[in-house]
Structure 1
């Protein structure tokens, strides 16, 4: 089921050889750009139209009524509510440590630069609701935004055909976290609504949250008009494992992410051919018993999934760094030491008892992470994602005088003499 790529004996790692999803954001962008343009010019009407066509739901109001949020929380299974509250508690504990204090630096006597960390004023948080309505993504989006001090938080998630509202557990978690501004809008239409505004939804300053390729393309399209977290598309997992790993654990973890979507990526990197054989056998047996067997088979047999054979763990480390996985598991001897040497990954899960699914829910870490190799330059969602550093510069007369000749000299070197004059004018020169 999982194809094999043999890199043993290779001195380099050709990027084109590594498993990767067919993730043509440019093509998706061309497909959804007319919708975004229509929302920019006409507001809610194109949103209602596309929601009727694609979701089978006729929307009178885009916003979810307050009573629907209260009813969802009241009807939530008590045991499930307890698990969600545990997840919220752990995510809050980890993310609370990410809050930033002002940084004050005295550059010279009388010359001070203060860096303030100011929250974004208004954010739009997207929560997927297609094949797997991700109530946990409400937690991962909302908690860091609240801890950052964002004053206005709006959530959007696709309406379900049966109710005309987002998934009931998603609504319940919004209510649990005191988020009252929720919209029954999904996909690129939600991104357009957040970016341009529509009906009751005022434009936001930043959009975060995972989604499919069309959501990712829409976020790319509006980036600049608004801020975005990262291009967090269809999920992926890479597992670096040696012959100390349990094949059943590795197989279960690969399957767990393949369960998300037929386009999900599951990759094993190992120097052990014996482990590769054992994992392959375990995967075949486990998939037959899985609830979403068809979806999993498509994902595991696609070009985005596979087993990569390497000479040793050093080469394996180079491979996973080149791959830059959203989720990276390390199940090897000396796993922590290897984990601390990884440079490109959204999140790293160390050892046999830290599966990715723990991070999806209750590790305390955030599961909104960069995909498609974007972990080379982007990071997962955090409190700092919602904070903007603003520098405040305060120099007195003596401090400015001490550096005035340097400013004038640098300004002349760049042929900007008025820059220098702005300093010398303060001293009658």
Structure 2
């Protein structure tokens, strides 16, 4: 059988539940560092050379005109256009609920508050290659637009067959309200967004999924620009009990496994279900197109498995240790266990809330934390594209009350100029004889 059944929890923890992080690849780090340096030094010329080398396309002009985006949106199949619009509207409605506002609180001591401001310009990376992802574009661009970002810039590699990014991606850019679009992919696109070139504007933050080279580039440019997340190879973890439909469980595992380098894991206390799912994975693999089947087979064989657990409590403990991007609950009472979840990018509850709907049309962004970063990171959301500026507007009454404490702490830290700045204000208040 392709997908193994693992009965020893220690073996599972040391194996499929223990990730091999991609940033440990020295060759990848070296290659990406060279690309970033070249793009910083040579700008558009380097972008054109890398596009020729990696994508097999010669592009003198790397920016796609907005008229071409509009034409693509008009030319795509109308059923796809309507599906994209349905997704965009659902994503917008969901993220509008996340908006938080600026606030100021006044008191007799003055005022404190915060200003919430959108970023001015963000860059979104959209993978191309064998599976262009218009869904990833809208799952980043729509929350950014809801956040109030002034300018959204997209980079996506051109296809060898057409010399431009996939038409569905171009159409999605127009429908989502993207401002500028560049036919550039890979680590070189991230470098261009971070440092700017003659054509590509420098952005404030970058978002979007990508392969190991793209994610490594994001790591390297962090600090020069903000990095919204580092979404590496996708992963799904299913917890299922005896009530689960084995066909659904297998389908949910394979839906993620067909992505390259994906992970697909099932935790279950039911041996009968484990065996049925194992057989279903084989049956469903046989029905997939050859290329997809090969990728999925590789994923479930090398980075997937069915782990037998004594009970659901153990399953949730393992899931929290693993911190999956997608946590799918195919159990009798999924809502009863939501409180047990501490680490996950997204939780999908029950037979009718399967993860593929989240990939496309459910509402939350599908760009979620991977590689265990769900223990501290969140999916892409409105706050990914906004910042908070603190407001401090104290008056003399406030200075008089809290100033002495500031002096005491400053002196404890050996920062006597800090203390003197406060003492000067307090002495001035005493001399004025006013509060």
Secondary structure of 2:325's partner?
strand
Q: What corresponds to 2:433 in structure 1?
A: none
Give the corresponding residue for 1:280. 278
| Distance in 1 of aligned mates of 2:281 and 2:390 | 53
Q: How far apart, CA to CA, are the structure 1 residues paired with 2:426 and 2:381?
A: 46
Structure 2 residues not aligned, in runs of 5+: 429-435
CA distance in 1, matches of 2:335, 2:313: 14
Q: Is the 8 A contact 2:91 2:362 kept in 1?
A: yes
Deviation at 1:30, TM superposition (A): 2.2
Say whether 1:158 aligns with 2:157.
yes
The 8 Å contact of residues 255 and 296 in structure 1, kept in 2 or not, is answered as yes
Q: Equivalent residue for 2:124?
A: 125
Answer yes or no: is the 8 Å Cα contact 1:15–1:322 preserved in 2. no
Match of residue 268 from structure 1: 266
> RMSD in angstroms over aligned alpha carbons?
1.6
Aligned to 2:104: 104
Residue pair 2:12, 2:307 contacting (<8 A) in 1 also: no
What is the alpha-carbon distance in structure 1 between the residues aligned to residue 228 and residue 235 of structure 2? 18
* Maintained 8 Å contact 1:43/1:196: no
3-state SS in 1 of match to 2:345: strand
Q: How big is the shift at 1:15?
A: 4.4
State how far apart, in whole Å, the 2-side matches of 1:57 and 1:208 are.
25
Residue 4 in structure 1 maps to residue 5 in structure 2: yes
Distance 2:388 2:6 in 1: 44
Distance (Å, rounded) in 2 between the aligned partners of 1:213 and 1:328: 23
Q: Is the 8 A contact 1:124 1:153 kept in 2?
A: yes
| Equivalence for 1:83 | 83
Q: In the TM superposition, what is the alpha-carbon distance from 1:131 to its structure 2 partner?
A: 2.1
User: How far is the alpha carbon of 1:260 from its aligned partner?
Assistant: 1.9
- Report Cα offsets for 1:198-242 as digits up to 9, x if no partner: 122111110000111111111001011111111101111100111
Contact 1:330/1:339 (8 A) holds in 2: no
C-alpha separation between the residues in 1 aligned to 2:66 and 2:201? 18
Q: Tell me the equivalent position of 1:387.
A: 386
Q: Which residue of 2 aligns with 1:422?
A: 421
Matches within 5 A, 1:23-422: 23-27=21-25, 28-106=28-106, 109-261=108-260, 263-291=261-289, 292-302=292-302, 304-422=303-421
What's the secondary structure of 1:428's corresponding residue? Answer: helix
The Cα shift of 1:428 comes to: 3.1
Aligned residue number for residue 16 of structure 1: 14
What secondary structure sits across from 2:340 in the alignment? coil
Give the Cα–Cα distance (whole angstroms) in 2 for the partners of residues 71 and 366 of structure 1: 26
How far apart, CA to CA, are the structure 2 residues paired with 1:19 and 1:73?
42
Distance, in Å, in 1 between the alignment partners of 2:414 and 2:235 is: 51
Residue 173 (structure 1) shift: 1.0
Contact 2:403/2:426 (8 A) holds in 1:
no
Q: Relative to structure 1, is the Cα distance of residues 335 and 415 closer, same or farther in structure 2, using a 3 angstrom cutoff?
A: same
C-alpha displacement at 1:405, in angstroms? 1.4
Q: d(CA) in 2 for partners of 1:307 and 1:105? A: 54
Q: Is the CA contact 1:18–1:323 (under 8 Å) kept in the aligned structure 2?
A: no
Question: For residues 280 and 290 of structure 1, what CA distance do their matches in structure 2 show?
Answer: 16
Work out whether residues 326 and 346 of structure 1, in 8 Å CA contact, stay in contact via their aligned partners in 2.
Answer: yes
Query: Which secondary structure does the structure 1 equivalent of 2:252 belong to?
Result: helix
**In structure 1, the residue corresponding to 2:389 is in which secondary structure?**
strand
TM-score normalised over the length of structure 2? 0.94
Kindly state the Cα deviation for residue 31 of structure 1 after the two structures are TM-superposed: 2.3
Stretches of structure 1 that go unaligned for 5 or more consecutive residues are: none
**8 Å Cα contact 2:241-2:331 kept in structure 1:** yes
Deviations 1:64-99 (A, max 9, x none): 123321221110111111111111111011000111
Could you say what secondary structure the match of 2:273 adopts?
helix
Matches of 1:414 and 1:70 in 2, distance apart?
60
Q: 2:426 and 2:355 mapped to 1: Cα distance?
A: 62
Deviation at 1:411, TM superposition (A): 1.5
Query: TM-score, length-normalised on structure 1?
Result: 0.95
Q: What SS is found at the alignment partner of 1:118?
A: strand
Measure the CA separation in 2 of the matches of 1:111 and 1:140: 41
Contact 1:26 1:217 in 2 (8 A): no
Cα shift at 1:382? 0.3
Separation in 2, partners of 1:334, 1:212: 36
Cα displacement string for residues 227-258 of structure 1 (whole angstroms, at most 9, x for unaligned residues): 11111011111001111111100000101111
